Chains A and B, each alone.
Chain A
Amino acid sequence: MKFSAVEKLIQNIRQDYQIFAPVKDDKEFFVSKISDLKQIDYSGRLPLNSWKHLFLPPGEELLEFSKKFRRPDSVYPRRCAWNMGFPDLKALGLLDVVFADDPYYQDRRRNILVCGLAVGEPDVENYAEHVKFSRRLAEDSLEHVTFDIFLEKTKKGTFDFFAGSVLGREVLSRNKIKNFTNVQFAGYIPEQGPDADMLSKQSLIKKSMKHRLWDELAEICLACGKCSLVCPTCFCFDTEDQAQEKTVSRQRVWGSCFYPEFTRLAGGTDYTATVKQKLQFWYEHKFVRIPAEYAMPGCVSCGRCAKVCPVGIDIAKNFVRLSEGSRGLPATITSRAGNS
Chain B
Amino acid sequence: MINPYQPLPVKILSVIQETPDTKIFRLKFLDSVKQKQFYFWQGQFAQVGLPGQGEAPFDISSNSHDSTAYFEVAIRQVGRLTQALHHLHKGDRLYVRAPLGKGWPSTDVLSQKNLLLVGGGCGFLALKSVIEEVSLGYAKKHQVQVFYGCSDEAQVLFKERYQDWQKSGIKLKLIFDKKEPTKKYIQGISCGYGLITKLFETEKVVTHASAFLCGPPVMFKFVIKKLQERGFKDSEIYLSLERRMSCGLGVCQHCAIGDKYVCKDGPVFRYDEVKDYL
Contacts and interface: CB of A to CB of B under 8 A. Distances in A.
A98 interface: yes
Contacts, number: 93
B244 A264 contact: yes
A298 B252 CA distance: 14
A168 B145 CA distance: 64
Interface in B1-48: 1-7, 9
A285 B4 contact: no
B contact residues, range: 35 or more
Interface in A296-340: 339
A237 B258 CA distance: 18
B243 interface: yes
A246 B249 CA distance: 29
B253 A241 contact: no
Interface stretch (A65-73, A113-121, A170-178): A65-73
A337 to B, nearest CB: 11
Contacts of A240: 54
Contact of B78 (A239, A267, A284, A293): A267
Given A284-B258, A292-B259, A266 B252 contact: no
B82 A98 contact: no
Interface string A255-268: 10100001111110
Interface in A219-250: 235-241, 243, 248, 250
B247 interface: yes
B52 A237 contact: no
B256 A237 contact: no
Interface in A125-179: none
Interface of A: 62-63, 65, 68-69, 71, 98-99, 101-103, 106, 235-241, 243, 248, 250, 252, 255, 257, 262-267, 269, 271, 281, 284-285, 288-289, 292-293, 339
Interface of B: 1-7, 9, 51-55, 78-79, 82, 95, 217, 242-244, 246-247, 249-254, 256-260, 278
7 contacts: A102-B4, A238-B246, A241-B51, A265-B244, A266-B79, A271-B257, A289-B259
- 6 closest A-B pairs (Cβ-Cβ)? A65-B51, A266-B78, A292-B259, A248-B51, A236-B253, A103-B1
